[in-house]
Chain A
């Protein structure tokens, strides 16, 4: 007897759960040849609001974890992705990427996580400092995570760019709400399943799919985001910057026109971790 084909319902990973949009809306996802793949959640500003609430709840505990523990969990996420590398490559190929290039993107994504996992208990030594002062004091500069960070993934490199954006944010204890590639959302949907099995507490990384036009205004104005990063074109940058100015949040955007090469060495850096840190300087008397 012929078997019915069981297809997967694409759902987004928010607050440790796989959800549909609260609106019930979806948009049809097609592969590069125009064949139907699935209905992807068309998330709304209310989904974004809920995701920020989830991130804020999860962020507190995540920031309190030891750096070493965060390192292990990022490494674990890389392990989860490595085990399903073929599946991830297939999701990238839906967008028309050739098999070899898709495979290379998955490998680069896994390696990127390993790279940032390694930094987890080391960035503080490099970015923090004991400052020389002319008085009987120790003067320390230490880093702290900022809180909830909003990230906008570019259309291209749907897996690698997303990983390259959120890994440096969470490694220091921030929580993230990320908007997946609008053109190729499917890798983010599958990535959610790996996040869910990686020991990463639910809510630390929240992935939304949907239209940039609908969601970017809320990313810009939501007061609870402490920072906004990712890739945006000129109009979007203006929108995000003016909204961020109103709500006083840090903005680190890469111009979409630059077609940033996410495979390049420059795409991973200690400074990407620094982007989402606050620096706190404390004075402490040395005593006699």
Chain B
């Protein structure tokens, strides 16, 4: 970070407080030790299913692949015996696709679907395009029928200390997406430190609206959502809420593949933000392979038999 960057960052951190990195790691290490069994496990698994933003973000996405993604989102698991006994198995929260795929998703989900359509926009994943282009992309996704927009922040500007510009750009996207929910991707893997993650969280939260989200990562870099950066962000959300009364949502994305991992994230939410955040309106998982592992564990809880992964339909590849 340049010297101007670090000066700006120091001023902001003086205001919002810095992060005790060792404390955070200690704290999140404890989440894995909770014993969640039987009824609470089933509750957690079903809740996690309802929070999944089922994602496909690949160059090789086709309308056909998006169609199968939508069907999987609406009906995560249909098997004669288990479907009955698992009832009511929720749909996932949303499908998450590239802007060009939004209209195909809308065609398959219809206009009154309980599954939302989220679209990444603003030159995802790098964000390295002129602002004008990024905003045009947001408007295109919205007019094609996206319910939610996942934007990336300008990490280049953030790391250079141009916080005003970062916020102005987010504000411009807020305006462009109108009444649609906005999720602001910080790309934590590129922000280097917990202090930067906290700073970026605050910058974003100050310009987005109640009910909008901050999101860890694009899933396109090697470093994805971890319990650590999730914890830094939900603590920022908590502090911001206590200060202002404004409730911001959270979406960890990328790298969450197992049911066990997702339960640890939910424990973190419950113990940091409380039950009010245990809803798809305020917490999401950006994932694709997670869904089948959740279903696998739910069927296991129901039948008592460990399940083979290949008995669950694949709608997407790993993310």
Residues of chain A touching chain B, judged by Cβ–Cβ distance below 8 Å, are 49, 52, 56, 218, 221-224, 243, 246-247
The distance in angstroms between the C-alpha atoms of A267 and B307, with both chains bound, is 33
- Min CB gap B292→A, angstroms: 14
Interface of B is mostly: loop
- Kindly state whether residue B311 has any CB partner on chain A within 8 Å: yes
Query: From A45, which residue of chain B is reached at the shortest CB distance?
Result: B306
In the assembled complex, the Cα of A56 lies from the Cα of B296 at a distance in Å of 15
Q: In the complex, are the beta carbons of A224 and B304 less than 8 A apart? A: no
Interface membership of B305, Cβ < 8 A: yes
Q: Which residues of B have CB within 8 Å of A221?
A: 304-306
User: Is the C-beta of B39 less than 8 angstroms from some C-beta in chain A?
Assistant: no
A-B contact sample (6 more), CB < 8 A, given A221-B304, A222-B306, A243-B305? A52-B306, A221-B306, A223-B306, A223-B311, A224-B306, A224-B307
Distance (Å) between the CB of A239 and the closest chain B CB? 13
Cα distance A218–B308 in the bound complex, in angstroms? 13
Chain A contacts for B304, CB-based, 8 A: 221
Q: How far is the CA of A37 from the CA of B305 in the complex (A)?
A: 35
| Min CB gap B70→A, angstroms | 27
Interface residues of B in 284-319 (CB under 8 A from A): 304-309, 311
Task: Note all chain B residues with C-beta closer than 8 A to A224.
Answer: 306-309
Given the complex, which residues of A lie within 8 Å of B306, measured CB to CB?
49, 52, 218, 221-224
**Residues of chain A lying within 8 A (CB to CB) of residue B308:** 223-224
Residues of A within 8 A of B305 (CB): 221-223, 243, 246-247
What are the 3 tightest A-B residue pairs by CB atom distance, in nearest-first order?
A: A221-B305, A224-B308, A223-B308
Can you list 21 contacts pairing A with B, beta carbon distance less than 8 Å?
Answer: A49-B306, A52-B306, A56-B309, A218-B306, A221-B304, A221-B305, A221-B306, A222-B305, A222-B306, A223-B305, A223-B306, A223-B307, A223-B308, A223-B311, A224-B306, A224-B307, A224-B308, A224-B309, A243-B305, A246-B305, A247-B305
**Chain B contacts to A: CB under 8 angstroms:** 304-309, 311
Give the distance to chain B from A147, nearest Cβ to Cβ, in Å: 9
Chain A residues in 8 Å Cβ range of B311: 223
Q: Chain A nearest CB: distance from B156 CB in Å? A: 39
How far, in Å, is A50 (CB) from chain B's closest CB?
10
| Min distance, Cβ A198 to any Cβ of chain B, angstroms | 28
B residues within 8 A CB of A243?
Answer: 305
Residue in chain B with minimal CB distance to A226:
B308
How far is A222 from B311 in the complex, measured between Cα atoms in Å? 12
Compute how far the CA of A35 lies from the CA of B308 in the bound complex, rounded to whole angstroms: 42
CB contacts (< 8 Å) of A49 on chain B: these are: 306
Question: In the assembly, what is the distance between CA of A218 and CA of B304, in Å?
Answer: 9
Measured between alpha carbons, how far is A243 from B306 in the docked complex, in Å? 12
CA distance A221 to B305 in the complex (A): 5
By a CB distance below 8 angstroms, the chain B residues around A223 are 305-308, 311
Q: Closest Cβ of chain B: how far from A119's Cβ, in Å? A: 28
| A164→B112 CA distance, assembly (Å) | 61
- Residues in B neighbouring A247, C-beta threshold 8 A: 305
- Nearest A residue to B310 by beta-carbon distance? A224
A222, B304: Cα distance in complex, Å = 9
Instruction: For the complex, give the distance between the alpha carbons of A176 and B15 in Å.
Output: 58
A49 to B260, CA, bound (A): 14
Name the CB-closest residue of A to B304: A221
**Residue in A52, A222, A243 whose Cβ sees the most chain B Cβ within 10 Å:** A222
Residues on B with beta carbons closer than 8 Å to the beta carbon of A52 = 306
Chain B residue contacts of A218, Cβ below 8 A: 306
B306 (CB) vs chain A CBs: closest residue: A222
A29 CB to nearest chain B CB (Å): 28
> When chains A and B are docked, how far (Å) is the Cα of A76 from the Cα of B101?
53
Smallest CB gap from A48: residue in B:
B306
Q: For residue A219, give the distance in angstroms from its CB to the closest CB of chain B.
A: 10
CB distance from A217 to the nearest CB of B (A): 9
**Least CB separation from A148: chain B residue:** B308
How far is A218 from B307 in the complex, measured between Cα atoms in Å? 11
Q: How far is the CA of A41 from the CA of B311 in the complex (A)?
A: 32
A253 to chain B, nearest CB (A): 19
Q: Which residue of B lies closest to A223 (CB)?
A: B308
CB distance from A175 to the nearest CB of B (A): 13
B85 to chain A, nearest CB (A): 15
- Min CB–CB distance B57 → chain A (angstroms): 25
A228 to chain B, nearest CB (A): 13
* Residues of chain B within 8 A of A222, CB atoms compared: 305-306
* Residue in A closest to B305 when the chains form the complex, CB atoms: A221
Q: Roughly how many angstroms separate A247 CA and B311 CA in the complex, as a whole number?
A: 11
Provide the bound-state CA to CA distance between A179 and B232, in Å. Answer: 44
Complex: how many Å from CA A222 to CA B309?
A: 11
Tell me, in angstroms, the Cα distance from A52 to B304 when the chains sit together: 16
Among B306, B307, B308, B311: residue with most chain A CB under 10 A: B306
Q: Say how far B163's CB is from chain A's closest CB, in angstroms.
A: 45
Minimum CB–CB distance from B125 to chain A (whole Å) comes to 28
With both chains docked as a complex, state the minimum distance between the C-beta of B180 and any C-beta of chain A, in angstroms: 40
Q: Which residues of A contact B307 (CB under 8 A)?
A: 223-224
| Closest chain B CB from A180 CB (angstroms) | 21
Q: A243 CA to B311 CA in the complex, in Å?
A: 17
A246 and B306 alpha carbons, distance in the complex (Å): 12
Cα(A52)–Cα(B309), bound, Å:
11
Q: How far is the CB of B232 from chain A (nearest CB, A)?
A: 30
A36–B307 CA distance with the chains assembled, in angstroms: 39
B259 to chain A minimum Cβ distance, whole angstroms, is 13
CB distance from A32 to the nearest CB of B (A): 36
B317 to chain A, nearest CB (A): 16
Give the complex CA separation of A158 and B227 in angstroms. Answer: 44
